[in-house]
A and B are shown apart, each in its own frame.
Chain A
Amino acid sequence: MSLVLDIAFTHVRARARQTLVAIFGVATGVGFSIMMAALMQGSQVDFINKLVDAMPHIAISDERPAPPVQPAERAYDAAAIHGLTPETRRLGIKNPLATMAALETWVPGEIGPGVITRAIIRYAGRDVSVTVNGIDPMREPKISTLATKMRQGSLVSLYRATNAIILGSRLATKIGARIGSTISLTTTTGGQMTAEVVGISHIGVRTADETTAYTLIKTAQILQAQTGIINEIRIRLDDPMIAKDVADRIVRETNYQAVAWMEAQEELLSAFQVRNIIMTTVVGAILLVASFGTYNIISTITHEKARDIAIMKSLGFREVTVRRIFVVEALTIGLVGSVFGCVLGYALCLFLGSFEFEFSAFTDMTRIPLLYSVNHYLIATGVALLSSGIAGYFPARKAARVHPVEIIRGAA
């Protein structure tokens, strides 16, 4: 093997400038791939974190997964029955305390009750449809990061007025409400209430900040005109990634609908998937182009060294040995390029991370979210090495197959 390395390095050294260009190509490819990966995954994780933190990981609602089967349907299996309206169900989760106690025995995380109501907010002649979340200010910090996302006021401010309400930042701006403003709420069932704005929350997810308001559970129950009702149990898991499994088990055990955050955000996550596919394609293309440089130089060297190859073969070198020489050259370029590429990638990340941006008027100054992961470096290096190896293999194979006589005849 040292023979192969010896010859390979000699060739590479003899073509220093061209080799450097090829190395530079690989390094650029690897560097930018790493930066892209850090950027894409960084923003994705940042976004999901924001989303996941602000929302309960699992929301159990009083809706049944499917409408209950009608007695008539049960009896006449094949008969189509028209005109049956499912009986009006009592809203809310039956015996929420017992349900919560049962869940607490096995769900790894925190559980809290909530009331969700749709309402129209009316203020200064503007109507906006919102989701009112009845929360427990004492328990909420365990279930979501809402408490840390308060722009003005705090969760406990909800105790300050009789009907106190916290508005999402975009919502407040939209209707022009401020702390102390008195707004009016109307529910779909005709309930009405006036409430005083005591806080502004800002989660950083546009749709949430635009359509969400928070009140005490009691206030939401009054708004719904249903005392004591709990129509949502909210769960924050220690590990948000298992939400789907836990939600499925909750559905089986309680027969209430339980929606994991990833289901609630399905569209968003699939958008990320599309984004990831695009990213992989672009990164792959960058590395592919980089490997053209490697292919180019190995082809050049094999052409230049055709006579030497013939000599080596005539001396009795085996085909694999000759092939290995050039594959090693390609891998050397790939390896050195990858090392520089990793350094470059890290430097690019540091550079990008050093900027502070104002994404919109609603957010504080933030840095570009970047995710540093050893995997990015390993994968980019792996792909670069693989493509270099392939780029070297084909010219190497061609060169190694040459019959020495053909070249010696020509040269002599």
Chain B
Amino acid sequence: MAAPAAAAAEAPLIEAVNVSRVLDEAVPVTLVRDIDLAIRPREFVAITGPSGSGKSSLLYLLGLLDLPTTGEVRVLGRPTATISEDERARIRLEGLGFVFQFHFLLPEFTARENVMLPMRALGRLSEAEMRARADEILASLGLAEHAGKRPDQMSGGQRQRVAVARALANDPPVILADEPTGSLDTRSSEQVFAILRALVDERGKTVVAVTHSMELAARMDRRIQIVDGRITADEQTRPAATR
């Protein structure tokens, strides 16, 4: 394992510099303001805060789903404001994996096909290779026997794990999750959490997860608290040395 000092010095995967996002409505709504943060490799970051504080909004900005009104978001060292929408889509496709509160799987496709979607959009592998890889990811999340099922034939926990599998499809370094366990019961929620944990510890991924649960946040490595669109706390909950 890398020494703490070395880990901190590693180049950030995602960096927000003085980011604010204001919705241009009749009465302008500020979603987040003056955000400065850096997400480094192999971090497991919790974003917490009261409902409506801007957690999701921040995650969308970090994931290039939304653009800041002012400030800059850099992903994988690249500036993202001046590039085209297609290029941002490309970064999302290869570099970022998303998991939402609701599984957001395409209902007409099987679990396997859903996991294959991002691979097919990228188009690097042959159909057979994509299939094999999708099955492998599903198996690693304990879903081997569900690969051929459609979302409506699975439980909520299984669906959410398929969503995680889909996020991993193109092997992105970063996974962004918005309340991935928010709609799950305790058991499924534990399962999904364990998977995210393993992604960080065993596969060297970086995970940023929004959560309501202080208990879950405490079991991650770093906690960023948002109140009223501002970062009010940013702390290591588990010192890197103990990992």
CB <8 Å contact, A315 and B108:
no
Q: How far is the CA of A311 from the CA of B121 in the complex (A)?
A: 13
**Does B94 touch A at the CB level, under 8 Å?**
yes
Which residues from 80 to 94 on chain B have a C-beta closer than 8 Å to any C-beta of chain A? 85-86, 89-94
CB <8 Å contact, B65 and A404:
yes
22 A-B contacts (beta carbon < 8 Å): A2-B120, A2-B127, A3-B117, A6-B113, A312-B106, A312-B121, A314-B65, A316-B89, A316-B91, A317-B89, A317-B93, A318-B89, A318-B90, A319-B85, A321-B121, A403-B65, A405-B60, A409-B56, A412-B56, A412-B100, A412-B102, A412-B179
**Does A97 touch B at the CB level, under 8 Å?**
no
Interface residues of B (CB under 8 A from A): 56, 60, 63, 65-66, 85-86, 89-94, 96, 98, 100-102, 104-109, 113, 117-118, 120-122, 127, 166, 178-179
Q: How far is the CA of A307 from the CA of B63 in the complex (A)?
A: 18
CB <8 Å contact, B117 and A315:
yes
Q: How far is the CA of A10 from the CA of B120 in the complex (A)?
A: 16
**Does A308 touch B at the CB level, under 8 Å?**
yes
Which residues from 177 to 207 on chain A have a C-beta closer than 8 Å to any C-beta of chain B? none
Interface residues of A (CB under 8 A from B): 2-3, 6-7, 10-11, 13-14, 307-308, 311-319, 321, 403-405, 408-409, 411-412
Among B65, B94, B98, residue most surrounded by chain A Cβ atoms (within 10 Å): B65
Q: How far is the CA of A403 from the CA of B92 in the complex (A)?
A: 14
CB <8 Å contact, B106 and A317:
no
A307-B120 contact in complex given A315-B166, A319-B85, C-beta closer than 8 Å: no
Q: How far is the CA of A404 from the CA of B88 in the complex (A)?
A: 13
**Closest approach, in angstroms, between the C-beta of B100 and any C-beta of chain A?**
6
**Closest approach, in angstroms, between the C-beta of B29 and any C-beta of chain A?**
12
CB <8 Å contact, B65 and A315:
no
Note all chain A residues with C-beta closer than 8 A to B109: 10
Q: How far is the CA of A409 from the CA of B66 in the complex (A)?
A: 11
Q: How far is the CA of A412 from the CA of B56 in the complex (A)?
A: 9
Across the two chains, which residue of chain A brings its CB closest to B169?
Answer: A315
A314-B56 contact in complex given A3-B121, A408-B100, A411-B102, C-beta closer than 8 Å: no
